[in-house]
Amino acid sequence: MRVLIADDHALVRSGMRLILASIEPGAEIVEAEDGREAIAVARRERPQLCLLDISMPGLNGIDAIPQVLQACPETRILVVSMHTDRHFVSEALRAGAQGYLLKDAAVDELADAIRAIRAGRPFLSAQVADALVHDFVRQAAVPDSPRQAEEQKTLTPRQREVLQLIAEGRSTREIAQRLHLSIKTVETHRAEIQRRLEIFDVAGLTRYAIKQGIVSLDA
């Protein structure tokens, strides 16, 4: 089995590599340190399994998931994250992840998650499963109008990429170069993001990006 580990911390990748070696002794392990590299490695190496962090610079894990799957549709994705908030869990699953595991999980739980996902079954840590059930019950009691208003704020994948780079302090020129877009196109995306979110300053956009898990505080 070929496994891709995508995490921006070298120590975490090294730790996961050692754990995987004990769980799957014959596994071939490749690594990526951010979302964009994960996409490139998935396209090149065709991994059967990807262990993916959420909080990564440049392109976060949630927005990388659909692009990893597009690059390599046979890859199964297990998010391994410190985030327990239901928003991160639901967004990761909506993006196409087959499982969600907390970073403080026991080695046995990681082994269970890998076995479940390889067998085509979803896997959720008990703590995040409870959060999803609680959220479902809470959302069921919310009138339609607030939910519809929130849906109107939904950003496209490209707009989420632009927003992450804005929140990370990148200039319009830097964003254009990173995404291979013209400066005018980036400015258009930025204006549309501000219009949809009704937020017109960088500080406000950054706070929104952090709240939605698009960027982390240490980015």
The CA distances from residue 10 to 18, 36, 76, 215, in Å, are 12, 16, 22, 19
User: 70 is written with which tokens?
Assistant: 């597009």
| Domain residue ranges in the chain | 2-136, 145-211
**Superfamily (CATH) of domain 2-136:** Response regulator (3.40.50.2300)
Residues belonging to the chain: 219
Per-residue burial over 168-185, b = 16 or more CB atoms within 10 Å of its CB, e = otherwise = bebebeebbebbebeeee
At 136-150, the pLDDT tens digits run: 666 655 555 454 445
Q: Are strands 123-124 and 99-102 parallel, antiparallel or unpaired?
A: parallel
The domain 145-211: what is its CATH number?
1.10.10.10
* Cβ 38 vs Cβ 6: under 8 Å: yes
State how far Cα 87 lies from the chain centre.
Answer: 11
At 98-109, the pLDDT tens digits run: 999 999 888 999
* Cβ 67 vs Cβ 43: under 8 Å: no
At 50-72, the pLDDT tens digits run: 999 999 998 999 999 999 999 99
At 165-175, the pLDDT tens digits run: 999 999 999 99
In angstroms, the CA 217 to CA 197 distance is: 20
Q: Could you give the 3-state DSSP secondary structure of residue 81?
A: strand
Q: Check residue 126 and give its pLDDT.
A: 80
What does each of the 219 residues of the chain score in pLDDT, given as a tens digit? 999 999 999 999 999 999 999 988 999 999 999 999 999 999 999 999 999 999 999 899 999 999 999 999 999 999 999 988 878 888 899 899 999 999 988 899 999 999 999 888 999 988 777 666 666 666 655 555 454 445 446 899 999 999 999 999 999 999 999 999 999 999 999 999 999 999 988 888 998 998 888 887 665
Three-class SS of 110-160 = HHHHHHHHHCCCCEECHHHHHHHHHHHHHHHCCCHHHHHHHHCCCCCHHHH
